[in-house]
Structure 1
Amino acid sequence: MNTGSPRIVVVGSINVDLVVTLERHPRPGETVRGRSLTVLPGGKGANQAVAAALLGGHVTMIGAVGSDEYADTGLSMLTSAGVDLRAVRRSPGTTGIAIVEVSDDGENTIVVVPGANAEATPALVDSAAETIADAAVVVAQGEVPADTTEAAMRLGSGRVILNLAPVIHLNREALLLADPLVVNEHEGALVLAQLGGREASDEQSVVEALLECGLASVVMTLGAAGALVSDGGGIIAVPAPRVDAVDSTGAGDAFVGALAVRLAEGSGLEDSVRFAVQVGAYAVQHAGAQPSYPALDDDLPLQAQ
């Protein structure tokens, strides 16, 4: 834990990933042979917290695990990365599970069983209200109950990053607290519909329409193409380095963790996104949702491995 850095609070899911590697994903109704099964720590919230901590952030995690044998696995990388876990609840029942299929081309499919993540309640958030209010950056996603996410966003007095993945229904007031809203192209269109915005035919127009709805800033991740970023002063395209993808699981979470670190340090949104794109490109070159991260800087070229 880097206690000299501004605090980042991540409110979100803690899972264990059951990762199956296979040549290609099955079609509906088809059975294919898997190559291997690995049990790894995961969950969008935990992935983001680990990335932020390993990149130098002073991170507190707020969430819940179960009372089963998977709980310690779910917490293992958070612990080794030095994340403050005092606001993590251990609840009776099962830890959240994600079943991840990774094909030879690096693409993945994920099925999530929430388990104890449903016990990450607004009361748990309220019990950490002072910590959240003191944070330079609060990070929230869509894998815990909506009222928990909304409560965390309202308590934040610093910058609030909302990575609305998966897209769940939040009230308009909470959505507009996001600064930035971080979504991919598909999620962006769903959030736009939720806000009642105008129809948009491509990624740039979705970003423009989200800003028209009242959001302070929007970051749209585009996978290997990088990201679009805007805080109302025009849309900037940030390209990603060309790399050989091994596993895209958690790449978006690595991006968000890196974004949180740079914003907490006081960097501008565009510069923070440029750093986050590099970290996301690094992450896809390594297996698992919580890889280790080197001491990256903005000028470090990320080469295919």
Structure 2
Amino acid sequence: PKFTITIYKIPEVKGPKIEKVIEKIKDVSSEEIDKKIEELREEFKEYIPKKDGEVDEGDYVVLSYGLEEEEKRETTSLVVGEGRNIFEGHVVGMKSGEEKTVKINEAKFKIKILEIKYPKLPELNEEFFKDFDAKDLESFKNKVRQLIIKERLSEDKIENFIADEILEENNFFIPKRYIEEEAERKFEELKKELLRSGIKLSDFLKVRGQTEEEVRESLRKGAESEIKYNLILDLLSDNEEVSDEEVKEYYGDKWQEVFSDEEKIENAKIYLKKRKYLNRLIEEIRRKIESHLKETEEKKENKE
């Protein structure tokens, strides 16, 4: 009988081009700036008393409540639409001072609206710009752009940019079997997590508006990228030095349980090698971008 043996050879891998990663982090679109501005306006909004009118979506409401058959009343507040209070769905359309009885599950509650406030977003004017050390809309947008870039400098976000660049630089075939195995493992993890949370898979799929196969396909795509990324990272970080002391520090109090387990020791070294490699890149990228932001700010101050 004849046998066919297929050997998959990984090509030489390339590290990420740091300057390309930096440019991607610094590249902020006008749409991203506009979205961030709306988020800031939402963050700085104030609530204005609504003397007349009914409770609407987004309003801040203070109300008293208590079981129908009891005299005792408690006070609570809510913002309609946040989904944090059981009375939210019952107050829309009510007026200040109005009372009514509502049924929640098997209990009947009497509620009374004590106060209504509507949200008012700040105008994009000089007064608002001053809070960001800006004098006009253009300089404000520049401040927002810098704010977005600074938010991208967290360790996990920089690593995401690095991962994207690594995958762009290295495009090679991953056997379908490996992808299917990893996707299946992730699907089983998802089911266990849902079970721990008391959520049925069918309910999860309904909320997501997806079929089981669509979720599996999404996991396959993620699995392929994850396998590639980890494989490339293993090779790129292979020359990093990790001491026994660092492994011991990594395990901490569990060191006595694992010090004789060669497999666990080796896995820890592989992980620590990758972290060393990534941390060095992350710090270099962060340092260069922070320097760029500082220079930009100094040039602006000198012009003024």
**Fold equivalence (TM over 0.5):** no
TM-score by length of 2: 0.21
Give the TM-score taking structure 1 as reference length.
Answer: 0.21
Kindly indicate which of the two structures has a greater share of residues assigned to strand.
Answer: 1
Judging by fraction of residues, say which structure has more helix. 2
